[in-house]
Structure 1
């Protein structure tokens, strides 16, 4: 039996989620279990440990669906800016990453200054630091 590497060797950062998104996120995690069980399990774990808040109480610097996030990959020192999106809205050419990717799950619920480790699809553990979060654009 293989075991997954620990998410991080230190305490996990606090995360906050918009409680109105949880049902859809859980459904997405469950639906992805067959083709990508590691991502589905990680998303369910993150949902379970999150502090759930009303959307109007979610701070602007918390990563949620639609947030623009600038982060640094501490393994490579590369800085990237992405928008976290639902799978149907993801478009790598427009820097819109799916919440059902390893880095999308890792970013969800974090705030500026937080660091977290995540495992790539190639089974490499990376650490990222959130540098800046911009709230979702109003509809």
Structure 2
């Protein structure tokens, strides 16, 4: 029952992040950023809540997250950022496949997602090291 084809757990996104991401999607080209389609699908299925009501264990924009690739058991630490901030060390754009996958997940949740080079990856959120909403720095 735990197939990788379609693991899409419930996700939670703050109103603030949803508004900024909607604005971003309105101006980016699908041709330039093919990942924008995945992000749009994630926003469509998300529960949107006020920033003040985001649980402490949820990945929001500008969160620093430790997650693992289930198949390799390798852990990664990345900060989920807007495209303008991508390219810095240990950051991932929300328009990248793994960025869209991480957004809105809670600690312990898993999601399957297409790899850029083809195939699927299965990742699990291990820890939120920094979350702007939790740590008093609303993004």
Higher helix share: 1
Moved over 6 A (4+): none
Structure 2 match to 1:40: 36
Q: 3-state DSSP class of the match of 1:110?
A: coil
Structure 2 match to 1:72: 68
Structure 1 match to 2:11: 15
The reply to whether residue 124 of structure 1 matches residue 131 of structure 2 is no
Equivalent-residue separation in structure 2 for 1:72 and 1:32 (angstroms): 30
Assess if the C-alpha contact under 8 Å between 1:8 and 1:116 holds in 2: no
Equivalent-residue separation in structure 1 for 2:6 and 2:18 (angstroms): 27
Q: 1:133 Cα deviation (Å)? A: 1.1
Structure 1 match to 2:56: 60
Listed as ranges, the matches of 1:81-92 within 5 Å are: 81-92=77-88
**Gapped regions of structure 2 (runs ≥ 5):** none
> Under a length normalisation based on structure 1, what TM-score does the superposition of the two structures give?
0.85
The reply to whether residue 98 of structure 1 matches residue 93 of structure 2 is yes
**Gapped regions of structure 1 (runs ≥ 5):** 1-6
Provide Cα deviations, 1:42-78, integer angstroms capped at 9, x if missing partner: 1011001000000000012110111111001012211
Q: Which of 46-55 and 117-126 deviates more? A: 117-126
Q: 1:80 Cα deviation (Å)? A: 0.4
Q: 3-state DSSP class of the match of 2:121?
A: strand
Equivalent-residue separation in structure 1 for 2:47 and 2:120 (angstroms): 25
Aligned CA RMSD, in angstroms, stands at 1.9
Assess if the C-alpha contact under 8 Å between 1:63 and 1:69 holds in 2: yes
